Structure 1
Amino acid sequence: MRIVLVSDAWEPQINGVVTTLKRTCEELTALGHTVEVIGPNRFRTLPCPGYRSIRLALLPGRRLAQLLDGLAPDAIHIATEGPLGQTARRYCLNRGLDFTTAYHTQFPEYLALRTPIPARWTYAAVRRFHAPAARTMVATASQQTLLEEHGFEHLVRWSRGVDTTLFRPQDKNFLLAPRPIAMYVGRVAVEKNLDAFLALDLPGSKFVVGDGPALAGLRERYPTVRFTGFKHGEELAQHLAAADVFVFPSRTDTFGLVLLEAMACGVPVAAFPVTGPKDVVLPDVTGVLHEDLGRAVRQALRLDPVACVAHAKAYSWRNATLQFLTNLAPLRQPATPAAAPYAGPDQPSTAR
């Protein structure tokens, strides 16, 4: 099958959406499919307002149509709701082609944090975007329930995986700092709610691994926190494995791939009991979820790293990709009823 993925999030961006799409492309290719990604790198771009490191395609209509016509795909998946996603949606609707979408990002909550726009207005706009899709893929059961409460339809599950050859237990002495080490890894931005972590009175040391528009302000407000900047590959895995507890203060993530990466390194998680963590973390086994984040940190430090590793190993990119394939809608055929997600022997249910 020739599959085209259209995404406003693509290299050189580094985030959960890009990681998910890259790993899915690798698995699809290994399964014998041909995959083409249409991302902003194929177009003239301009910086995203408020987040200049993200580039958005500028007037992509004609070029995107030429690409899709030339590729003649068997299935089109629209991963994001940005300029490329909007243009690909219009292309499919104008030609009567089925397509699928995915809900990766909590834009209503993000915009509500950054602007005076009420979340309900953004939910209405995003719901209209996804409404014509044959299926909209969501990562977790709680995310599906939330979207259904906002009137979304045709929702199916598409889970995630973790590379346990890269993310694995390693020498804690990689970081020489007072212990315990509490660490956050990810985008440094307002929607990640980092103040809820950095303002905690905790023993030991706090590390923030990542970059983003809020970095300068947080460095100024929290001079004792160690901000390492962006890390990737083996260096990222070494940092993560050296932590004693992974602190995830976000209340707006749809999954949180880094939660799996931390657990795969044998690092328990402390987080709020919200969408993402409550679908991925085994409470009081691989992490602690509590509205008192400081309490969650202190209790998570007592958990068994071996249980964390075992839980993370149950998530494979191969099974996640088989879910994705099951959910696709072949072109020029009537959309079939939403298929049940594939769940292989090593892919745990995310239902709670």
Structure 2
Amino acid sequence: MSQLPAEPRRILIVTDAWAPQVNGVVRTLQSVRAQLTAMGHVVEVIGPDRFVTLPCPTYPEIRLAMAAPGAIGRMIAGFRPDAIHLATEGPLCLAARRWCLRNNRRFTTAYHTNFPDYVQSRTGLSAEWFWPYFRWFHGPASAVLTSTPSIRAGLHRAGIHQTHHWGRGVDLSLFGPDGPAHPAFADLPRPILLHVGRVAVEKNIEAFLALDMPGSKVVVGDGPARAALEAKYPGALFLGLQTGEPLAQAYRGADLLVFPSRTDTFGLVMIEALASGTPVAAYPVMGPVDVLTPAVGAMDENLVLAAAQALTLDPVACAVYGSQFSWRRSAEEFLQSLHWLSQSPIAQAA
């Protein structure tokens, strides 16, 4: 593990996921970028907002950037980075990877999304078909950043070994146990069971909505599956996308966060809920098994049993545990993973 740089550096992040997309990858990159900037580093992001985009097949809400040949290389050369990080495995990062290899520049990558399983859930194609591409993409990286031991072990089994831990954080100025609940919760029967995230098939939200339990079910988020699920489960409350204080109020007002995904590599919403004093119920799969402890969450292949157990947990213990996740520490772990292309700090490179 490298040491934190003593002087500010120029850090380039290339990503196929960026605002206005709302997902864990974008929120992680935005949060870490804010921390790095606060430390004095200059962080440039090359994302799809700079290019013409086309809808992703089977998922039109995600836009894929179409960069002109040579455009990414010119941007990289013009910025003169001290370190290059490729955050995703899509078209922009493919172009940046190609430029780095042609110009003998080292780079790091990250494994944010369990993409082989994700594609399997959307297409039915075997996840094993996609691992050769991921071995090829990440193979030349100096380090592949992973958020949990389960993901690291899975990559090692797949033949990707140069992994580096990169944890996640919580905005503790926003998410905490103190403050009002969401006004939409005022007259809902208790307990209030909450789901937060993209409303898409790979999130397995129907497993949450189909739970045979008393109380109320609330879905926060938007996505391609919302209309169908809202029609099929009229008894659930769909609040749509919530951010900032309304999202914090939703976490605080709920009695339980149910996290039914089987494909997420981490699950930021779990630690945001915990920091808000709300316990978590989940399947015993990657993400939850790395994040939850018996004091703050319950895991079972029977999600009803997990939810019933989690409802008995202490909200104070949840808030204390959730408060341990720091974006500052996440940013420092990110810095420690980078391969520095130049030992010259910004002042000397100007």
- Give your verdict on TM over 0.5: yes
| Superposition deviation, residue 60 in structure 1 | 4.1
The TM-score, its normalising length taken from structure 1, stands at 0.92
Q: In structure 2, what residue type is equivalent to 1:80?
A: T
Deviations along 1:61-81, one digit per CA (max 9) or x if unpaired, are 322111111001010000000
Aligned to 1:319: 329
How far the C-alpha of 1:97 sits from its partner, in A, is: 0.6
| Distance in 1, Cα, partners of 2:158 & 2:69 | 30
Partner of 1:109: 117
Could you say which residue in structure 2 is the equivalent of 1:152? 160
Whole-angstrom distance in 1 between the partners of 2:123 and 2:222: 22
Matched, 1:8 2:16: yes
**Structure 1: distance between partners of 2:14 and 2:135:** 18
| In 1, Cα distance between equivalents of 2:57 and 2:248 | 31
RMSD value, Cα: 1.2
Which of residues 104, 108, 115 in structure 2 aligns to 1:100?
A: 108
Query: Which ranges in structure 1 are unaligned for 5 or more consecutive residues?
Result: 334-352
User: How far apart, in 2, do the equivalents of 1:173 and 1:128 lie?
Assistant: 46
Matched, 1:306 2:316: yes
Give the Cα–Cα distance (whole angstroms) in 2 for the partners of residues 179 and 173 of structure 1.
Answer: 14
The answer to whether the Cα contact below 8 Å between 2:259 and 2:281 also exists between their aligned partners in 1 is yes
User: Per-residue displacement from partner, 1:252-304 (whole Å, max 9, x unpaired)?
Assistant: 01000010100011000000111111111112x11101111011111111100
- Distance in 1 of aligned mates of 2:313 and 2:145: 33
Amino acid at match of 1:273: P
Match of 2:249 in 1: 238
Q: Give the 3-state SS of the residue equivalent to 2:145 in structure 1.
A: strand
- Deviation of 1:250 after TM superposition, in Å, equals 0.2
Instruction: Report the CA distance between 1:172 and its aligned residue.
Output: 4.2
From 256, 260, 263, give the equivalent of 1:249.
Answer: 260
Secondary structure of residue in 2 paired with 1:61: coil
CA positional deviation for 1:30: 1.2
Matching residue of 2:74: 66
The one-character-per-residue Cα deviations of 1:125-168 (angstroms, maximum 9, x if unpaired) are: 11211011000000001110111111112011000100111011
Instruction: State the distance in 1 between where 2:26 and 2:113 align.
Output: 12
Gaps of at least 5 residues in structure 2 are 1-8, 344-350
251-260 or 107-116: which moved more?
107-116
Alpha-carbon distance between aligned partners in 2 of 1:235 and 1:77, rounded to the nearest angstrom: 33
Tell me which residue corresponds to 1:206: 217
Matched residue type, 2:180: D
C-alpha contact 2:182 2:250 (8 A) present in aligned 1:
no
- Residue aligning to 2:235: 224
SS of the counterpart of 1:93?
A: helix
SS for the counterpart of 1:12 is: coil
- Name the counterpart of 1:330: 340
Deviation at residue 59 of structure 1 after TM alignment: 3.4
Question: 3-state SS of the aligned residue for 2:278?
Answer: coil
